[in-house]
Amino acid sequence: MAELGFEVIGVDIDPAKVEILQSGRVPFYEPGLPEVLHRNIAAGRLRFTTSLAEAATAADIHFICVGTPQQSGANAADLSQVFGSIQALAPHLRTGALVVGKSTVPVGTAALLAEQLALTAPAAEVAWNPEFLREGFAVTDTLHPDRLVVGVRSQHAEELLRQVYAPLIDQGVPFLVTDFPTAELVKVAANSFLATKISFINAMAEVCEAAGADITQLAEAIGYDPRIGNQFLAAGLGFGGGCLPKDIRAFMARAGELGAEEALAFLREVDQINLRQRAHTVSLALAALDGSFAGRNVTVLGAAFKPDSDDVRDSPALAVAAAIHNAGGNVVVHDPKALANAARVYPTLTYLEDVTEALAGAELVLHLTEWPEYRELDPAKITSTAKPRHLIDARNRLDPQLWRAAGWTYRALGRPTA
Ligand code: UDX
């Protein structure tokens, strides 16, 4: 928003985070974001505070960007941060203020919040404007989105949001105006479709493996059909992160409450296929080591849920690493950016920042997050003297010939074994 020219105040309840941001640093890894942050703080358009009162009284538009994680022990979303932040904001809202929800919420939440606000801040209004950015591409996706979707109940709200997004609308970004439930559903429908696409190709990978076919060639071949498209067809360890897994589960839970459970029954299968990839990778690893992990040296390449991110929330890579560690393996994990976060979640694994060192004693290497630098590895230079030496490429990105030529067995998900 600051980059688009607005005066922006970021509010967080965590003083440490506010201090880091205010000093021009980003408390997580996101390519391109430090530059944007720096530029806009220096230009005086962006600052950060823990004082909601001070920030809110100065503003016309209030974006709610808090998390909606999965409830512990249930599929549904935990909405406490959304309700809590709007409750805290209400007493400070000016007449005509617009509260714009960006968080991913169960359909019906915006209407509930509007009811609540009508009691506590009747001069303010709610709108819903789902966020579609991908981690690793946050800056580009924000400044060049595929589309903008706004759920509104008044002309006033639509006009304000048209003003906010005018620079993007002028560039031709589609601007869709909907009611509340449609805007809320667009987000979960989009993420469900993406998750389904990944699980579809992973189901095909299972069949390829059974039939001796090659999933990478199959994906390329079907991807040329523009109705299918070639994106999000990378078979492998499956999806993780802070969005896709919890969003499809919360969507199923909400559909159940609405009496539409059957409509989303297929998402249960999408989730199962996805989790099966993790279990399958662990069993391939076990088979490579002749049925026992006890005391065996396993190196895991990648801890983040995807490359270009240090996010380890529901990371498939870490789940596999932890399973092997729990079964007695000596697991060493490497990741270019996510080691500190990974160590907070699984403190008992061994983490090494130097990839050469991490690979030195490996009997089995698992390629679990496809950071580009792993493709640059020269397997002939790995000093491990173990015999035999095994590689499992759970992201189907490494070169089988190269690794086999260097004396490694190469196994991938959904590809022929030799
Ligand atoms: C996702 C949506 O893409 C984004 O629009 C939404 O706003 C938030 O959720 P993100 O979680 O950042 O974004 O990651 P994404 O790039 O979608 O990848 C999700 C997971 O799917 C990753 O674990 C990735 O490794 C996996 N994936 C992706 C595959 O396994 N195969 C693919 O072909 C694509």
The pLDDT of residue 417 is 84
Q: CB of 390 within 8 A of CB of 289?
A: yes
Q: pLDDT tens across 39-75, in order?
A: 999 999 999 999 999 999 989 999 999 999 999 999 9
Q: Say if residue 418's pLDDT is above 80.
A: no
From ligand 1's centre to the CA of 84, what distance in Å? 28
pLDDT at 153 over 90: yes
Domain residue limits, the chain: 8-186, 191-418
Topology (CATH level 3) of domain 8-186: Rossmann fold (3.40.50)
Per-residue pLDDT tens digits for 341-380: 999 999 999 999 999 999 999 999 999 999 999 999 999 8
Distance in Å, CA 134 to ligand 1 centroid? 7
Q: Quick one: pLDDT band at residue 157, thresholds 50, 70, 90?
A: very high
pLDDT reported for residue 58: 86
Q: Verify whether ligand 1 is closer than 6 Å to residue 200 (CB atom).
A: no
**Which amino acid makes up residue 404?**
R
**pLDDT tens digits for range 377-390:** 999 888 878 888 99
**Ligand 1 center from residue 295 Cα (angstroms):** 34
Residue 304 identity (one-letter amino acid): A
How large is the C-alpha radius of gyration of the chain?
24
- Phi, psi dihedral angles at 286 (to 5 degrees): -65, -40
| Torsion-angle region of 125 (φ positive above 0: left; ψ -120 to 50: alpha; else: beta) | beta
Strand partners, 127: 100
Q: Does residue 249 line the site of ligand 1, with CB under 6 A?
A: no
The finding on whether 239 has its CB within 6 A of some atom of ligand 1 is: yes
35 CA distance to ligand 1 centroid (A)? 24
- Residue carrying structure tokens 């870490």: 318
What pLDDT does 386 receive?
Answer: 83
How many angstroms separate the first and last alpha carbons of the chain? Answer: 52
Which residues are known catalytic residues? 243
**For residue 384, what pLDDT is reported?**
78
Nearest CA to ligand 1 atom 19: 239
The pLDDT value recorded for residue 406 is 93
Ligand 1 touching residue 202 (CB < 6 A): no
Please give the Cα distance from 387 to 359 (Å, whole number): 14
Take residue 182 and report the two structure tokens written for it. Answer: 């449609």
The owner of tokens 């020269």 is 378
Sign, Cα dihedral of 199, 135, 164, 77 = positive
Predicted confidence band of residue 168 (pLDDT cuts 50, 70, 90) = very high
Res 356: pLDDT: 95
Is 357:383 a contact under the CB 8 Å cutoff?
A: no
Q: Which of 105, 134, 237, 413 to mutate to test the pocket of ligand 1 (most atoms within 8 A of CB)?
A: 134
Superfamily of domain 191-418: NAD(P)-binding Rossmann-like Domain (3.40.50.720)
Backbone angles phi, psi at 416, to 5 degrees: -60, 150
* CB of 135 sitting under 6 A from ligand 1: yes
